[in-house]
Structure 1
Amino acid sequence: MKKPVLILLLLILYLNCHALNNNMFWFSRSLINPAESGLHHNLYAASTGRVQWLGLSGSPSQYNALVDLKINAMQAGAGLNYSFYKDGSVKTNSFSANYALQHTFKNQSIVSFGLSGGFTNGQFQREEYAIILKYLSPGFELQDDYRFAFYNLKLGVAYKTTHFELGLSSNHAIGSQGLKPYLNQMRMFHLTTSYRFDAGPNLDITPHVLISTHDLENTSFTSAVLLNFRDRMWTGVNYRYDKGFGIMIGCDISGMFRIGYNYETYFNGERRYTYGSHEIILAFLLR
């Protein structure tokens, strides 16, 4: 089997595993939709981390950092994103820069159109994927870790009112042509929506939904319900279709700092072998 075919098969394995959605995705929206940059705060800086299937060797983990800035003079937003992902033999680093053009209507609703450009580089570690190669092509060996890279273009649109939000975005919008001709990322589409209900003078209830699909074939569904007390303390539950459910808790300190934690367990046999998934967020914000 030729080397390009082997690498392509390894990349497909990586793509099928690279679906580590953050359960608290509404705290880092610009990672999946560039139109969200600068849409919610004058300045927002956050770091998130997620470890999945804790207790299993080589379990997936992902760490993100983002900075979003609202540019009032230009009716626009801008941001920078970074993500590190590790899953067994695969490690990737992703960088992107976002720009969003916003328009505010008389009723204070906002529509935003976003564009993002960046790249991903990564590697398959030879000592870990050697077992896979043994079955794909007996007798074939790669002498070193295999490195790959590809460009990424994201497009997005978002609509926001005082209570309702809707976003649609496409990651790898043009197929993300790789730096090598046989490395191409699949297109990903994301739909996010939420609605904030005023349940009392000090309580808001907000359901969130994220639907993601790979080339309109493999679709995942994530939902959550968040209870917010006086814009200070929040808690809630999340559900991932056919995967698992979790609980979350967090707080905003002095209206400028945010800390949150999510624990998720699973429906299937994974629950017997792992300690679940853990996710945290730390953020600084200026409203």
Structure 2
Amino acid sequence: MNSRKLIFSLLLVIPLYGRAQQKPQYTQYIFNNYLLNPALSGMENYTDLKIGHRQQWQGIKGAPTTTFISANMVLGDKYLWKNALSLPENGDPPMGRLYTQNYTASPAHHGIGLIGMNDKTGPLSFLDLALTYAYHLKLNNALNLSLGTAVGISRASINVNELNLENPSDPALSNAGKAQLNPDLSVGLWLYGARFFAGASVQQLLQREIGFSSVSNGGKEVAHFFVTTGYKLFIDDEISAVPSVMIKKVGNIPISYDANLKVSFRDRFWVGGSYRKQDSFAALAGVNFSNVFNITYAYDYATSRLRSYTSGSHEIVLGFQLDNRYRVRSTQRMW
């Protein structure tokens, strides 16, 4: 096969990219919905820092790998509040029934944050950086509504050193080594209380064109739509369960559905499960080592046709709750 045909074969991934999921896939978004929705910026009265890595489809060469860092915080000390988020002085389980009974919505405040993500699939890489902002309204004594936006930049590139070409000087490759920079915009809203949350967001609103060949039109970014909701149930005073669902729509591919369940013991450690329709089952676990540090892990078992070629996907996230003056142990209120 000559180099022109080979580069055209390679560039087929760009039009396909334009019709399929483009943003990274996460299993542990239920512990960090901020990755999908900027409206969560500054929802807590501490700085919420998370560092994560995902290896998708272990065993398949060139499968997606994603590394991210995210941090968000309340803007301004005067918006810090002390309420039922604080640990009870008598040693009762944090975030338990007493927490929900005494819960008070946070005052109106602003939140800011930063997300950095590197996603690589074969020779194709994306580096995204975004600044986020949210304004949190107090609807009543027990309910908040936040509106948020993320503004950033996305860098797309192909590593030509990973391509085995018969003629590297082919004119079709003239733009392959040039990274592309595009602006990025996302918006979202989040409704939350002591036991309930619901949110909706849209990523990649600008839908810019992407292409690496001087003889091909390439593909185009597509918007990603997310809708989610969940509710906290108490099994007893020490054990709680949070079922949740996520609906996702990307381009022309069918709607994706996730069903999740997290079971927590005294907010010290938790286990969970997730099912993504016609894609995978996942097992999740996490430990709060202190009111500053926690770690979570997820393993995905593929149920699609890929299960014959992969041993599964792995995802690990380290969480840090900085300036946690009220010693909150459970991240993001109820998750």
* TM-score band w.r.t. shorter chain: 0.7 to 0.9
Match for residue 124 of structure 2? 90
Alignment of 1:41-80 (within 5 A): 41-71=45-75, 73=79, 75-80=109-114
- CA 1:248/1:28 → structure 2, altered by over 3 Å: closer, same or farther? same
Q: Any idea what SS the aligned residue of 2:206 has?
A: coil
- CA 1:33/1:91 → structure 2, altered by over 3 Å: closer, same or farther? same
Q: Check the 8 A contact 1:154/1:173 in 2, yes or no.
A: yes
Match for residue 248 of structure 1? 284
Partner Cα separation in structure 1 for residue 263 and residue 141 of structure 2 = 26
Q: Check the 8 A contact 2:147/2:190 in 1, yes or no.
A: yes
1:284 aligned to which of 320, 324, 327: 320
Structure 1 residue 7, shift from structure 2 partner: 9.3
Match for residue 245 of structure 2? 209
Structure 1 residue 224, shift from structure 2 partner: 1.2
Are 2:129 and 1:126 aligned?
A: no
Alignment of 1:141-160 (within 5 A): 141-143=172-174, 144-160=176-192
- CA 1:117/1:177 → structure 2, altered by over 3 Å: closer, same or farther? farther
How many equivalent residue pairs? 279
Say which structure, 1 or 2, has more relative contact order (CA 8 Å, 6+ apart).
2
Structure 1 residue 223, shift from structure 2 partner: 2.1
Are 2:303 and 1:267 aligned?
A: yes
Instruction: Specify the code of the residue in structure 2 equivalent to 1:51.
Output: Q
Cα shift readout 1:129-171 (whole Å, capped 9, x = no counterpart)? 567x99xxxx764155242221111111110010110111111
Higher strand fraction (1 or 2)? 1
1:14 aligned to which of 2, 5, 17: 17
Q: Check the 8 A contact 1:204/1:227 in 2, yes or no.
A: yes
TM-score for both structures, normalised by structure 2: 0.75
Structure 1 residue 111, shift from structure 2 partner: 0.3
Are 2:150 and 1:116 aligned?
A: yes
When structure 1 is superposed on structure 2, of 220-229 and 80-89 the one drifting more is 220-229
Q: Any idea what SS the aligned residue of 1:52 has?
A: strand
Structure 1 residue 219, shift from structure 2 partner: 2.1
Structure 1 residue 43, shift from structure 2 partner: 1.4
When structure 1 is superposed on structure 2, of 19-28 and 153-162 the one drifting more is 19-28
When structure 1 is superposed on structure 2, of 77-86 and 53-62 the one drifting more is 53-62
Partner Cα separation in structure 1 for residue 17 and residue 253 of structure 2 = 17
Q: Any idea what SS the aligned residue of 1:200 has?
A: coil
Partner Cα separation in structure 2 for residue 12 and residue 39 of structure 1 = 38
Cα shift readout 1:41-92 (whole Å, capped 9, x = no counterpart)? 4210001111011111111111110011023537111100001000012111
Q: Check the 8 A contact 1:150/1:184 in 2, yes or no.
A: no
Instruction: Specify the code of the residue in structure 2 equivalent to 1:56.
Output: I
Point out where structure 1 has 5 or more consecutive residues left out of the alignment. none
Structure 1 residue 25, shift from structure 2 partner: 0.2
Q: Any idea what SS the aligned residue of 1:92 has?
A: strand
1:197 aligned to which of 233, 255, 258: 233
Partner Cα separation in structure 2 for residue 177 and residue 208 of structure 1 = 34
Partner Cα separation in structure 1 for residue 60 and residue 10 of structure 2 = 25
- CA 1:97/1:173 → structure 2, altered by over 3 Å: closer, same or farther? same
Structure 1 residue 26, shift from structure 2 partner: 2.1
Q: Check the 8 A contact 1:249/1:262 in 2, yes or no.
A: yes
Structure 1 residue 125, shift from structure 2 partner: 2.4
Instruction: Specify the code of the residue in structure 1 equivalent to 2:292.
Output: M
Partner Cα separation in structure 2 for residue 148 and residue 11 of structure 1 = 13
Q: Check the 8 A contact 1:150/1:179 in 2, yes or no.
A: no
- CA 1:187/1:17 → structure 2, altered by over 3 Å: closer, same or farther? closer
RMSD: 2.7
Partner Cα separation in structure 2 for residue 7 and residue 275 of structure 1 = 26
Are 2:168 and 1:168 aligned?
A: no
Partner Cα separation in structure 1 for residue 109 and residue 245 of structure 2 = 27
Q: Any idea what SS the aligned residue of 2:147 has?
A: strand
